[in-house]
Amino acid sequence: MNVLHQLAAKAGIAREWTDAAGVQQLVADDDLRAILAALGVDVATRAGMLIALDQIEDARARRPVLFTADCNEPIILPDAPLMGEDGQVVICDPALSGIPHPGYYRMDLPDGSLTVAVAPERCPGIDRPLWGVCIQIPSLRGTGDFGDFDTLAQAVTALGKAGADAVAISPVHALSLDDPGRFAPYSPSSRTQLNALFGAAKVSPSRLDADLIDWPRAGPAKIAALHALWSEQGEPDDFAAFLNRHAREGLDAVQTCARAAGMAVGLITDLAVGVDPEGSEVAASPHLFLNGLRIGAPPDPLGPQGQDWGLTSYSPKALVNSGFDPFIAMLRANIPQGGGIRIDHAFGLRRLWVVPEGRPASAGAYLSFPFEDMLRLIKLEAWRKGAIVIAEDLGTRPDGFSESLEAAGVYGMAVLPFARDGEGAFLPAAAYPATSVAMSATHDIATVAGWWTGRDLEWNDRLARGGPTAVERAQDRAALWQVIGNGAPQPADDDPAPVVDAAIGFLAQTPCPLTLIPMEDMAALVEQPNLPGTIDEHPNWRRRLPAPMPALLAQPEIAARIARLNRKRGA
């Protein structure tokens, strides 16, 4: 192995990766150099690379700022008193029997302090069959141009009274207030601050009956209303601090409403995989991020050139050096008390596809992350909040990834169109894993009605995108109906309502502890919230539900679907 390859390996960059077809691929040396250079490594000369190797070894030999461990597992710690979060010395023998209780502990040493984060064996879990819905917050109808935390509170109250136990929501991360055109929830400016637009304020809507949100008009109008509220109340905080506090109070109030309405879980928030490299979080702490690198996905049949998501993420080196402070702060900002959190692209806990800025997405490589430490911190922070954790684990899983999540009590996702066996056949309900959440769709794929009618194929044709053919979809329709249809005649291609009914009933029968149905499926809508790979070609994140939540739940078709969920999920 030459020096470049040694250096890449020590820096956590994988020279080889396996594509979707199972074929081993090799990262070009030029790409390795570009990634290493972005990580701040001198790759111009052999001497520089040898020095970098020594520096990496020296860093590994140093005592970490934070050490993670599991409860009751023997660990070797320095010989010094171990203090709990209350400042009291803990009496135990870590080397013999580990530390018995989860929490953060501190050891004061001659050369500084050491934090020991002790995780529970597993995240909090669900002990009976539950059901809930998925909601894109802006899609909610109320008195404004888009949904906010007030509208969401009304929705969760109605859903809780109807029997739902959980509401999985779109990300609530802060977006750029300076550019109302940047409204994609998975491209946040900061994951530790909240989206100010979701704070409640009276604003005169332009058109209550509009089917699409006009973000360039609606966003500034909401900010103006929030500024007026700030001025009227004579807040001591500056406007930016007020916006985040007002949003935080609104989000907390939603969870209070959910639990008051009888929900066992309530809100399940969504954690984006990265942040806008030009956003506020990177600007405030650039040293914590992968400057000069973008995250994305390697080439595959659906994206032969690879994907550049236009996002960056934490630097694994910076996480370790900081004692994981930004990661912990991010978790605390997003996990609701007694609720849950969904981690988008959870594979990123182990590795991320990184691409040097300005280069094609195919010129990337996988960069490893301190997975075991991050997973323990997730367990600990979820335990502190009494919250469940769901990992978006769709796609090709890294070896051992699913087993690690299962052992940690992190739920995976079993999504109807993807839940198939090794031969490609749709799984029967009994074969769904009890360690996953059952879902009819996600925000990035066709709704059940859209899939059945071929609306997604129409979009593919319109945009000249690849994807299944009409013949392949017809075969899949027949195969799916055979599994979910209970022997009834197959509905026509343009009659999706019976398919939606059957799909919801089918998912409610699985062993999965939680069944989540997007509101787009509860209402049998054919359009999906987002079409990945598009910007202006498709109205991403702009679609609104057809009516306010109470009115939707009163519709006979939706009421019947809820009744079916309540019957089969034990409510």
User: In the numeric block, which tokens belong to residue 550?
Assistant: 């109470």
Largest pairwise CA distance in the chain: 76
Return the percentage of the chain with pLDDT > 70, whole number: 99
Dihedral, CA atoms, 377, 382, 385, 389, nearest 10 degrees? 150
Which has more confidence, 300 or 562?
562
Count the Cβ atoms, other than its own, within 10 Å of residue 265. 25
Whether the per-residue pLDDT at 1 is higher than 70: the answer is no
Is residue 412 helix, strand or coil? strand
Per-residue pLDDT at 180: 85
Q: CB-based burial of residue 289 (10 Å sphere; 0-12 exposed, 13-18 middle, 19+ buried)?
A: buried
State the pLDDT at residue 395: 84
In the prediction, which pLDDT does 205 show? 67
Residue 302, pLDDT score: 64
What count of other Cβ atoms lies within 10 Å of the Cβ of residue 279? 24
What values do phi and psi take at 3, rounded to 5?
Answer: -60, -40
469 pLDDT exceeds 70? yes
Centroid of chain to Cα 356 = 24
* pLDDT given for residue 198 in this prediction: 98
> What CA–CA distance (Å, rounded) separates 260 from 266?
9
In this structure, what token pair is assigned to residue 25? 């691929």
Q: Please name the residues in contact with 107: beta carbons below 8 A apart, sequence gap of 6 or more.
A: 77, 78, 80, 81, 82, 83, 113, 114, 116
Contacts of 197 (CB under 8 A, 6+ apart): 146, 148, 175, 219, 222, 223
d(CA 542, CA 557): 25
As a whole number, the mean pLDDT across the chain is 95
Helix axes 470-484, 497-508, angle to 10 degrees: 50
Whether the Cβ atoms of residue 251 and residue 268 lie closer than 8 Å to each other:
no
| pLDDT above 60 for 97 | yes
**Does residue 359 surpass a pLDDT of 80?**
yes
Are 367 and 354 a contacting pair, CB within 8 Å? yes
- Rounded CA-CA distance 119/68 in Å is 7
Copy the structure tokens of residue 483. Answer: 């599994």
104 pLDDT band (50/70/90 cuts)?
very high
pLDDT in tens, 200-252: 998 876 677 789 999 999 999 999 999 999 999 887 789 999 999 999 999 99
Q: Which residue has the tokens 């899939």?
A: 451
Is it the case that residue 406 has pLDDT exceeding 90? yes
Cα–Cα distances in angstroms (integers) from residue 268 to residues 147, 194, 292, 322, 387, in the given order: 17, 15, 32, 28, 9
What digits encode the pLDDT tens for the residues 489-545? Answer: 999 999 999 999 999 999 999 999 999 999 999 999 999 999 998 889 999 999 999
**Which tens digit of pLDDT belongs to each residue from 296-316?**
999 876 677 889 999 999 999
Q: Where are the alpha helices (DSSP H) in 73-113?
A: 94-97
Residue 571 in this model has a pLDDT that exceeds 60: no
Quick check: 281 and 275 in contact, CB under 8 A? yes
Instruction: Please compute the mean of the pLDDT values over residues 133-152 and round it to a whole number.
Output: 96
Q: Residue 280: its pLDDT value, please? A: 96
**Which residues lie closer than 8 Å to 180 by C-beta, 6 or more apart?**
215, 216, 217, 218, 219, 220
Is the Cβ–Cβ distance between 38 and 293 less than 8 Å?
yes
Mean pLDDT, range 425-448, rounded to an integer: 98
Residues 3-50 pLDDT 10s: 999 999 999 999 999 887 888 999 999 999 999 999 999 998 999 999
Start-to-end CA span in the chain (Å): 61
pTM of the predicted structure, to 2 decimals: 0.96
The predicted pLDDT at position 234 comes to 80
pLDDT of residue 96: 79
Phi/psi for 5 (5° steps) reads: -70, -40
Q: Which domains does the chain have, with CATH numbers?
A: 3-61 (no CATH), 72-119 (no CATH), 130-568 (3.20.20.80)
Q: How confident is the model at residue 92 (pLDDT cuts 50, 70, 90)?
A: confident
Please, where are the H alpha helices in 342-469? 371-385, 401-408, 448-453, 455-462
Q: Quote the pLDDT of residue 94.
A: 84
264: pLDDT strictly greater than 80: yes
Average pLDDT of the segment spanning 442-466? 95
Does the pLDDT value for residue 331 go beyond 80? Answer: yes
- pLDDT computed for residue 521 by the predictor: 99
Q: Using pLDDT thresholds of 50, 70 and 90, give the confidence band for residue 373.
A: very high
Determine the angle formed by the axes of helices 371-385 and 325-334, rounding to 10 degrees.
40
**What pLDDT score was predicted for residue 108?**
93
Structure tokens at 181: 């055109």
